[in-house]
């Protein structure tokens, strides 16, 4: 299964992504992907910058080379192309280069922090994570394999379509109104894209819902100290995702491209809002 953990900043996304990665790796092969500039999931998994890691924020050239694409091929047009699949076992050339082994059953991909190209270049942050956007739906996994992605906080990357290729979104909330508001916004986007989503509560315990308590194991990122209740909840959460109806992930990208083209045609005949403002003299 492939899952992405999303939600408001500070809600506990990285902690939950760490717990799910560690818990799943007790029985299955896990690829954890830290898709956040802060790299909290990587830190939780005992990764450090001194490790020989290739960052996903510079993976575009390798992605294009693996797919046999040229600089004239744009990401937005990729859903119309027949692209090669990726694999965890055996790992393809791209996966082997960017997945850093942490243990026998746990590997890690790291997006990486800010860099000069992003700070002073003409491209936005979306361009540097697009390789991951198309890697996820093309990654074919087996029954004993799990992918856990820790997301940037908020709705931006969800709205960008970064997670069109996952089986489900896990929306983490904490007991604040702002956290619940962001969760509701993410749910709307997930429904629009047709991505199954499950909302869980962190930092509280309610028996009638999927929720995690803030135990010592989560606070210290020590799996040995995770409570039996939290381990049970993690099992229940993973099992519920395993039962979700799997969409053809590449079909989501194709549907997105169809709507993109429709909107593009509309914009050709519809004046930009800026022109409307000028016309009204505002």
Minimal CA–CA distance to 237: which of 190, 201, 204, 203? Answer: 201
Q: Are 98 and 211 in contact (CB under 8 A)?
A: no
Q: What is the DSSP letter of 185?
A: H
Can you tell me the mean pLDDT for 81-104?
A: 94
Angle of CA points 167, 169, 173, to nearest 5°: 160
Percent of the chain with pLDDT over 90: 67
pLDDT mean over 174-202: 92
The confidence band for 122, taking pLDDT boundaries of 50, 70 and 90, is: confident
Task: Tell me the mean pLDDT in the region 68-86.
Answer: 93
pLDDT at 276 over 80: no
Cβ neighbours, 10 Å, residue 116: 7
Helical pair 125-138 and 249-269, crossing angle rounded to 10 deg: 140
For the cut 90, the answer to whether the pLDDT of residue 26 exceeds it is yes
Structural domain that includes position 136: 2-280
The total number of structural domains that make up the chain = 1
CB 34 within 8 A of CB 111: yes
What CATH number has the domain bearing residue 141? 3.40.50.300
């Amino acid at each position: 299964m492939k899952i992405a953990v999303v939600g408001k900043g500070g809600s506990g996304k990285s902690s939950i992504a760490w717990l799910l990665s560690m818990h799943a790796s007790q029985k299955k092969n896990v690829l954890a992907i830290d898709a956040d500039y802060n790299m909290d999931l990587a830190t939780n998994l005992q990764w450090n910058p001194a490790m020989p890691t290739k960052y996903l924020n510079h993976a575009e050239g390798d992605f294009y080379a693996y797919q046999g694409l040229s600089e004239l091929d744009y990401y937005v047009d990729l859903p119309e192309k027949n692209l090669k699949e990726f694999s965890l076992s055996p790992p393809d050339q791209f996966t082997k280069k960017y997945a850093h082994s942490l243990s026998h059953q746990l590997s890690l991909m790291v997006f990486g922090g800010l860099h000069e190209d992003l700070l002073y270049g003409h491209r936005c942050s979306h361009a540097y994570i697009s390789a991951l956007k198309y890697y996820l739906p093309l990654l074919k996994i087996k029954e004993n394999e799990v992918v856990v992605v820790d997301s940037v906080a908020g709705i931006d990357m969800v709205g960008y379509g970064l997670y069109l290729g996952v089986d489900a979104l896990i929306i983490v909330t904490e007991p604040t109104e702002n956290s619940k508001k962001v969760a509701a916004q993410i749910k709307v986007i997930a429904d629009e894209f047709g991505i199954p989503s499950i909302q869980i509560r962190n930092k509280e315990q309610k028996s009638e819902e999927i929720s995690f308590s803030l135990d010592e194991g989560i606070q210290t990122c020590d799996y040995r100290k995770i409570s039996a209740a939290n381990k049970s909840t993690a099992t229940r959460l993973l099992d519920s995702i395993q039962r979700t109806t799997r969409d053809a992930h590449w079909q989501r990208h194709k549907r997105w491209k169809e709507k993109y083209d429709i909107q593009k045609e509309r914009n050709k005949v519809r004046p930009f809002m800026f022109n409307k403002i000028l016309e009204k003299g505002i």
